[in-house]
Amino acid sequence: MTDHLLTLNAGSSSLKFALFARAQPAAPAFAGQVDGLGGLGGGPGARLEVRDAAGAVVHDAALAHAGATPTHDDAIDAVLAWLRQRGAQVGAVGHRIVHGGMHLVQPVRIDDAVLAQIDALMPLAPLHQPHNVAGVAAARRAFPGLPQVACFDTAFHAGQPALNRRFALPQALFDAGVRRYGFHGLSYESILAQLVAADPLRARGRLVVAHLGNGASMCAIAAGRSIATTMSFSPLDGLPMGTRCGRLDAAAVLYLLQCQGRSADAVAQLLYHESGLLALSGVSGDMRELMASAAPGAALAIDYFVEHALRELAGMVAALRGIDTLVFTGGIGEHAAELRRRIIDGAAWIGPVDVQVLRSDEEAVIARATAALS
């Protein structure tokens, strides 16, 4: 195999990769995934599974790891080892990068200066950016001299109306970068591209895309443009998630710091790793486990998720002044049919809406950008 494009996509608890022929950056020759990294949704039993273009499994093996739970570094090492075994000739590597900040608002070739900018944004996306940077570092070591391209989740939202990018804070803070960025942009770009291909007229209408997974957000899209989204300054905001709190009164953080005497690091650990569905249920942060559980806490967590999905959906509809199409994507959005039904039923007050379930293909978005820049 010669001159292929490799994409690496590190989520908060998963690593996806795909190998594309440069001449066909829309359809991968091979695609693989490791779930359950960091102890979520699989724990020590995490596996690397690889499928070919026809969907047949060509590799399925337990992920080797030295620690108690497999890490993103373990997953990257496994992917690179599999590529070496296949003799894949990689010509360029594309990376999903969660946060691009104020200045990285389109795909860009990675050099030391760009990598330094990405690295500086780690405090704003601590569940993702370190793994994104680790993927870049591993790929640069494995493929020295090859073009490496960064594609940013925040970029899709960079053109939002100024009103929707502001907090009610002083202008100086906005100028310093304290603003609403939004995330899951590569997923939203993928869904929008699929809608445009299927029905260009409908794709120009008022869309709400619900990306529901271990990380969850919604985006209001009008005329092919992001108008508003539920995540803001960081991937903590908006919907409750696997281990993230979602929307939270800022005074609660002040209380934890000032009255309970917790350190900033302890509060960050709480909000990113010990909250969300895990905290509500006392069982798990994985929706699959919660839906299979008879524990009262599991039911509470599911009810909370549905209730706040309905509230956030209402906010997106308000931003659009109406809705034509609602799209579910992400692991929960695609596979949890009963949860989708509850959200659809609870939103019946909105009126008739075209509801679709689509699989986001972030890797194809990254591959197209990598092909264009390498």
Active site residues: 153
Please list, residue by residue across 276-308, b when 16 or more beta carbons sit within 10 angstroms of its beta carbon and e when fewer do. bbbbbbebbbbbebbbebeeebbebbbebbbeb
178 CB neighbour count, 10 Å cutoff = 13
Q: How far apart are CA 372 and CA 22, in angstroms?
A: 10
Tokens of 114: 């760009």
Query: What is the 3-state composition of the chain as percent helix, strand, coil, each rounded to the nearest 5?
Result: 45, 20, 35
**Residue 96 contacts residue 133 (beta carbons within 8 Å):** no
Residue 217 backbone phi and psi in degrees, to 5: -155, 170
Kindly give the residue spans of alpha helices, DSSP state H, lying in the chain: 72-86, 112-120, 129-142, 162-165, 171-175, 185-198, 200-203, 250-258, 264-273, 276-281, 287-292, 296-320, 330-335, 337-346, 362-373
